[in-house]
Amino acid sequence: MFQNTPVSFSGVQPSGNLTIGNYLGAIKNFASFSEQYKCFYCVVDEHAITVRQVPADLRRRTYETLALYMACGLDPEKNTLYVQSHVKEHAELAWLLNCFTGFGELSRMTQFKDKSQKHADNINAGLFTYPVLMAADILLYQTDVVPVGIDQKQHVELCRDIANRFNAIYPDTFTIPEPIMAKSGAKIMSLADPTKKMSKSDENTNAVVYILDDRDTIIRKFKRAVTDSDTCIRYAEGKDGINNLMTIYSVFTGKTIEDIEREFEGRGYGDFKMAVGEVCADALAPVQEKFKCFMSDKAQLEAQMKKGAEEAAYVARRTLSKVQKKLGFVQIR
Ligand code: AQP
């Protein structure tokens, strides 16, 4: 579609303050695609309402997520940055793809099972069909690669199944996308329960390091991170807490696990936790500075949203129209 330039698409929900999990597992990697791919990065506000949101918070976080994209190095001249609800084709294609998705397939989605346990008072149809909207997000742009954390891999695989099923009936409609996960950092764990993924909607704020936490808060949270009764810094089975901290240190510094084991030989957990807190705070400081600057000009952010939505809608409309024609919908001009 873009003279053979491959396409990268991904999104982040403005469903809470973004975490270092969202940063290391997803956003930090988005920029690396800008040179070789046509990139679409979306703030997926329609996904966020599968769980109840306070409207004022959702609005604020939508601006913040866009500002964070740019603060994390996504240049709007090289990447199409936009808000999902500004491009109506996402919801429209989702309806069409619903008719090509099995109830059984959706029932098997781990995130649906987890979230319906967590929000037992609001197991809505949107929570169930969330992966179909995500498939529409991806397929609208004839996407080749989807950079995501491990938790979203199952959804991208379902998207591939839906696209293959559609293509088998209506050939050459969709490009089949590949999930791309960071070699390290694709699943950052909670600091309070390192067997659980770090999540922006976790009620325990000490379990989560937010991208916008100040230096003291970051260091305090790492100091309190749950580890084990061993004393040496080594990566091993059953040491989930320390493994998680080593992964975080490794991704922020670029050092290998072996380098880290050597660096901290003979030193205790206290020293190591302090070091992880410091590298994390150092790495996030420039992101926070740029974020403040982008947030101080709301008109500019809105102009950016508008430009991104126009660029995205141009491509999305072409795919949607192709799908509608293949399905036999009457086209009027
Ligand atoms: N802990 C994590 N480690 C690595 N990657 C992660 N991602 C999320 N958590 C981690 C990746 O961040 C991207 C955006 O995630 P999302 O906003 O689509 O929602 P999510 O996957 O459901 O993330 P959260 O933080 O857990 O949100 P809530 O609490 O609202 O459900 C995705 O690529 C995701 O893989």
104-149 per-position pLDDT tens digit: 999 999 999 999 998 899 999 999 999 999 999 999 999 999 999 9
Q: Closest ligand 1 atom to the C-alpha of 152?
A: 35
In 32-107, which residue ranges form alpha helices assigned H by DSSP?
45-48, 55-71, 89-98, 103-107
Q: Closest ligand 1 atom to the C-alpha of 151?
A: 35
Nearest protein Cα to ligand 1, atom 15: 12
Query: 220 Cβ partners below 8 Å, 6+ apart?
Result: 277
* CA dist 254 → 25, 89, 101, 229, 259 (Å): 14, 40, 41, 27, 10
Q: Are 151 and 111 in contact (CB under 8 A)?
A: yes
Q: Closest ligand 1 atom to the C-alpha of 15?
A: 30
Ligand 1 center–CA 176 separation, angstroms? 22
Residue 247 has pLDDT above 80, yes or no: yes
Strand, helix or coil for residue 197: strand
246, burial (CB in 10 Å: exposed 0-12, middle 13-18, buried 19+): buried
Ligand 1 center–CA 200 separation, angstroms? 7
Position 230 scores a pLDDT of 87
User: Which of 13, 18, 180, 248 is the best mutation target for the ligand 1 pocket, counting ligand atoms within 8 Å of the beta carbon and taking the most?
Assistant: 13
With a 6 Å cutoff on the Cβ, whether 21 touches ligand 1 is yes
With a 6 Å cutoff on the Cβ, whether 48 touches ligand 1 is no
Strand, helix or coil for residue 101: coil
Q: Are 263 and 255 in contact (CB under 8 A)?
A: yes
Position 46 scores a pLDDT of 98
User: Which of 199, 203, 243, 248 is the best mutation target for the ligand 1 pocket, counting ligand atoms within 8 Å of the beta carbon and taking the most?
Assistant: 199
CA separation for the pair 17, 21 (Å, rounded): 11
Residue 333 has pLDDT above 80, yes or no: no
Least Cα distance to 225 among 190, 256, 267 occurs for 190
Position 42 scores a pLDDT of 98
With a 6 Å cutoff on the Cβ, whether 188 touches ligand 1 is yes
CA separation for the pair 200, 207 (Å, rounded): 10
Cα Rg of the chain, angstroms: 21
User: Which H/E stretch holds residue 118?
Assistant: helix 110-118
With a 6 Å cutoff on the Cβ, whether 26 touches ligand 1 is yes
What six digits make up the tokens of 299? 């008109």
Residue 231 has pLDDT above 90, yes or no: no
Mean pLDDT of the chain: 96
Ligand 1 center–CA 171 separation, angstroms? 33
Q: List, in sequence order, every residue forming a beta bridge with 10; answer none if it has no partner.
A: 41
Ligand 1 center–CA 332 separation, angstroms? 40
Ligand 1 center–CA 188 separation, angstroms? 9
Nearest protein Cα to ligand 1, atom 26: 199
Position 253 scores a pLDDT of 97
What six digits make up the tokens of 67? 């500002």
Ligand 1 center–CA 230 separation, angstroms? 30
Residue numbers annotated as active site: 115, 197, 200
With a 6 Å cutoff on the Cβ, whether 17 touches ligand 1 is no
With a 6 Å cutoff on the Cβ, whether 50 touches ligand 1 is no
Q: List, in sequence order, every residue forming a beta bridge with 201; answer none if it has no partner.
A: none
Position 3 scores a pLDDT of 66
**pLDDT confidence band for 1 (50 / 70 / 90):** low
4-17 per-position pLDDT tens digit: 899 999 999 999 99
Residue 2 has pLDDT above 90, yes or no: no
Position 229 scores a pLDDT of 87
* Amino acid code (one letter) for 286: P
Q: How many residues appear in the chain?
A: 333
Least Cα distance to 300 among 130, 70, 100 occurs for 70
Residue 220 has pLDDT above 80, yes or no: yes
Residue corresponding to tokens 């500075």: 289
With a 6 Å cutoff on the Cβ, whether 19 touches ligand 1 is yes
Average the pLDDT over 258-274 and give the result. Answer: 95
Instruction: Estimate the crossing angle of helix 125-139 against helix 110-118, to 10 degrees.
Output: 140
CA separation for the pair 225, 207 (Å, rounded): 8
- Tell me phi and psi for residue 189, to 5 degrees: -100, 160
What six digits make up the tokens of 118? 């967590």
